[in-house]
Structure 1
Amino acid sequence: MNKIESLVALHQEGPYWDFKREWYGDNKDGDMLIDIICMANNLVDKDAYIIIGVDEENDYSVQDITQDTNRRNTQMLTDFIRSKKFAGDFRSVVTVEQVQLNEGVIDVIIVHNSTNTPYFLKEKYKGVFADNIYVRLQDSNTPSNKSADFHHIEYLWKKRFGMLLSPIEKVKLYLKYPENWEESPSSEDKKYYKYAPEFTINHTYEPNDGRDGYEYYLFTQNDSRPHWSEIRICYHQTVLAELGGVILDGGRYFTATPDRDGISLTESHHWDVPYRYMIKGKLNHLVHEFYYIDDGDEARHAHNEYEDCILIFDNEIEHQKFRIYVRNNWNRKEEFANDIWIPYMEELPGYNMDAFREEYKTMQILRRMLEEFRKSNTENKS
């Protein structure tokens, strides 16, 4: 985490980072809670860091915390936050990471940025008052017996309601609430956001446009015939995004197509391990979730079979770390290849069916590797 080293080297606290000489003791749980809330309500719209093991009163020297009896890991801190009664049950997401510096080990509480601001309690906990909204302003926190200034609170509410976002970021927020979209009277394939009808999404299907190619993930569907579509997201008359869409299982399910990438195992740029994927929070995954309606076994089956054929990452950081993991472990691929079921693929004129089977098998190996990767990361953090 070079970023943390850079912050320590600044020898000053700031609007999204704070230094602590040591971990909070049991008698300072209230202090820890208000620090986390202030960081979650920071006014610079960033992940925030409580850096533990830096003594600001001693020239910001590093104090190794490996023997600190009050240390907490991510799970312990998450349980602590979860046990507190927050307004609306919105709780900030926190993780703990250990950082090795030349002078010793420090811990970093990462308070992840979110649009669920402002965070505040609905019941008092120790010195943290109910209904008080605390913020991080420059290098200081709101005092526990006060609430932040009105214009800072207004900013946090605007952040929650997406009022500070660009049009493309707004539509990403709106897509998380498909129940707030209405069908357009002009087309059943077009929807508009009812609280901001200038935002629309529609998909088109032209059966005679010549797009009739196959992909490996089609063959897990009961009806494997290809039906490709175009998804268009607009703000007024401006096209914000165009995505590929696919009609699966003869029309029983519709979704966005996955991204395509690959991993090179040598210095060449050739993809030795191709794969298809989505990242949560990215536009095509939001659209994928937006169009899924669990209204019966057929749609559910088509949806599940599709997701079983691609990789879905929690974020871009996990994606990149997994790529490194695959490079380092691809020599073990046969360990993950046992008992992989290959769907029936009828021979099609002009297609190399073995290539489809190989791509499907590779994806199943990668899915199993992703399970192991996540399990090992969870064990290392516990």
Structure 2
Amino acid sequence: MESLKKLIINLISLKQEGAYWDFKREWYESNQDLLHDIICMSNNLVNRDSYILIGIDEDEDYIIKDVSNNPNRKNTQKIVDFLKDIKFAGDIRPIVYVETLNFDDDIIDVIVIQNSSNTPFYLKEKYKGVFSNQIYTRIQDTNTPTNSSADIDKIEWLWKKRFGLIETPVERIETFLGKPDGWVNGPYGEMQKYYKDFPEYTITYDFASDNRDGYVYYLFSQSDSKPNWMDIKIYYHQTLLTEIGGISLDGGRYMTPCPKTDGISVSNNHRWDIMYKYMVKESFLHKLHQFLFNNEYSSEARIARDRFIEVILLFDSEQEQYLFKEYVVEHWNDKGNYEDSINLPHIPQLEGYKVDAFKDDYEHALILQCMLKDFRKRN
């Protein structure tokens, strides 16, 4: 919410409309106009979320006009219900929600239209003055009129977006990872996969070429804690797009890309006092993590994955991670409130390793999980 508010403040400060944002003084009196604007915004040509800011008066130097008592005001559920009754082509509808932002004693509503690869959105049956089979978009600050259709080059671009043809190879592989059923095993078995619609995209994984065999704390969440490090390679034709370290957990029952590492300093030292492992939802790393789980799903893999997720942090966004680290610094002295509710697994003596260091990392991971739950409740 905080990051959205900052974005909206920046857009208002521009004092002009743009390719993915629009200002309205008050809520729509006409559902026809609301629908037309949502379709135009969902088919925007800048490939991003778009915003309709309600409560901004363009005629009075873009000042805020409180909308709390507007009789036409709609919340998310009302807009979703409205769109459900509209006959969209393919029954594919834009994903839309409403956020309310407070500015001192005034509030504005923001209709957020999420970016989607399902473009172009258009109607299969006419709704009042919004015509069927007409493709509307937005160019700079101007929507396609309801009695017209977008230029052919704009329509072609929207269809290319649906088919993943406007993306770079790295962006396309990220899209394909969200479609695990589209992948099949290569001729050398399950450790090589290709995307069946575009077989030039392949994923291979094998045991780490450097024969690394070190331990990290999250291995001890598994029944079999022996490390099996992997190399995950993603190719476009013969070009290596990226190589990511992976770990095969619980004796090979579940594989995941290795989480990232970060830390927090709660003292006056410049070094980390707390180290943790994490992923950010919807990042490339997390999408690969989800892909491998969905592609190799089994009940044993699910158990191993659940144990893994219990001891790494999964943030909703990079912004949440940043704010959470500040929260931990302020509340780390309260960690004793959580220590009685956590349990460490058995960590065996390992030659060449300091077992107490593993215990500290594991305990910190569990405490941070508890703190993250409290942090989210407060926010």
Write the letter of the residue equivalent to 1:276. Answer: K
What's the CA shift string for 1:12-52, capped at 9, x where partnerless?
A: 21111111111235xx3332233222212111112222112
Change (3 A) 1:265 1:163: same
For 1:288-367, list aligned pairs within 5 A.
288-292=289-293, 293=295, 295-367=297-369
Change (3 A) 1:251 1:118: same
> CA–CA distance in 2 between the matches of 1:267 and 1:89?
57
User: Given the alignment of the two structures, is residue 18 of structure 1 paired with residue 22 of structure 2, yes or no?
Assistant: yes
> CA–CA distance in 2 between the matches of 1:351 and 1:298?
29
Contact 1:294–1:300 (CA under 8 A) maintained in structure 2: no
Contact 2:195–2:201 (CA under 8 A) maintained in structure 1: yes
**What is the deviation of 1:233?**
0.9
**What is the deviation of 1:247?**
1.0
TM-score (norm: length of structure 2): 0.87
Change (3 A) 1:226 1:140: same
> CA–CA distance in 1 between the matches of 2:330 and 2:147?
53
> CA–CA distance in 1 between the matches of 2:190 and 2:277?
29
Runs of 4+ residues over 6 Å off in structure 1: none
Match of 1:346, SS state, is coil
Change (3 A) 1:253 1:45: same
Write the letter of the residue equivalent to 1:215. Answer: V
Write the letter of the residue equivalent to 2:334. Answer: R
> CA–CA distance in 2 between the matches of 1:5 and 1:137?
22
> CA–CA distance in 1 between the matches of 2:74 and 2:237?
49
Match of 1:144, SS state, is coil
2:144 match: 142
Match of 1:340, SS state, is coil
Write the letter of the residue equivalent to 1:111. Answer: I
> CA–CA distance in 2 between the matches of 1:95 and 1:358?
42
> CA–CA distance in 2 between the matches of 1:254 and 1:341?
25
Match of 1:321, SS state, is helix
> CA–CA distance in 2 between the matches of 1:323 and 1:67?
38
> CA–CA distance in 2 between the matches of 1:226 and 1:81?
50
**What is the deviation of 1:79?**
5.4
For 1:245-284, list aligned pairs within 5 A.
245-266=246-267, 268-284=269-285
> CA–CA distance in 2 between the matches of 1:331 and 1:68?
47
Match of 1:304, SS state, is helix
1:380 match: none
Write the letter of the residue equivalent to 2:263. Answer: G
TM-score (norm: length of structure 1): 0.87
Contact 1:5–1:101 (CA under 8 A) maintained in structure 2: no
For 1:216-227, list aligned pairs within 5 A.
216-227=217-228
**What is the deviation of 1:109?**
2.5
Change (3 A) 1:376 1:266: same
Change (3 A) 1:351 1:71: farther
Change (3 A) 1:102 1:219: closer
Change (3 A) 1:337 1:152: farther
**What is the deviation of 1:296?**
3.2
Match of 1:325, SS state, is helix
> CA–CA distance in 1 between the matches of 2:140 and 2:249?
51
User: Given the alignment of the two structures, is residue 196 of structure 1 paired with residue 198 of structure 2, yes or no?
Assistant: yes
Change (3 A) 1:247 1:2: closer
Give 5+ residue unaligned stretches, structure 2: none
**What is the deviation of 1:200?**
1.4
Match of 1:367, SS state, is helix
User: Given the alignment of the two structures, is residue 172 of structure 1 paired with residue 174 of structure 2, yes or no?
Assistant: yes
**What is the deviation of 1:202?**
0.7
Match of 1:320, SS state, is helix
What's the CA shift string for 1:197-255, capped at 9, x where partnerless?
A: 22211112158x44111111111211110110111111222211110111111111112
What's the CA shift string for 1:98-133, capped at 9, x where partnerless?
A: 445589543322323232322234555554444433
**What is the deviation of 1:143?**
2.8
**What is the deviation of 1:186?**
4.3
Change (3 A) 1:325 1:80: farther
**What is the deviation of 1:53?**
1.5
Identity of aligned residues (%): 49
Change (3 A) 1:335 1:143: farther
> CA–CA distance in 2 between the matches of 1:322 and 1:75?
30
Change (3 A) 1:251 1:10: closer
Change (3 A) 1:218 1:75: farther
For 1:110-121, list aligned pairs within 5 A.
110-121=112-123
Change (3 A) 1:192 1:296: closer
1:232 match: 233
> CA–CA distance in 2 between the matches of 1:365 and 1:86?
48
Contact 2:208–2:231 (CA under 8 A) maintained in structure 1: no
**What is the deviation of 1:169?**
0.6
**What is the deviation of 1:146?**
3.8
Change (3 A) 1:331 1:70: farther
Equivalent of 2:164, from 162, 165, 173?
162
1:59 match: 61
Write the letter of the residue equivalent to 2:206. Answer: T
What's the CA shift string for 1:173-207, capped at 9, x where partnerless?
A: 11112222222224542222222222211112158
> CA–CA distance in 1 between the matches of 2:265 and 2:116?
34
Contact 1:23–1:68 (CA under 8 A) maintained in structure 2: yes
Change (3 A) 1:366 1:96: farther
**What is the deviation of 1:369?**
2.8
**What is the deviation of 1:74?**
4.8
**Count of matched residue positions in the alignment of Structure 1 and Structure 2:** 374
Equivalent of 2:12, from 8, 15, 31?
8
Write the letter of the residue equivalent to 1:280. Answer: K
**What is the deviation of 1:257?**
0.8
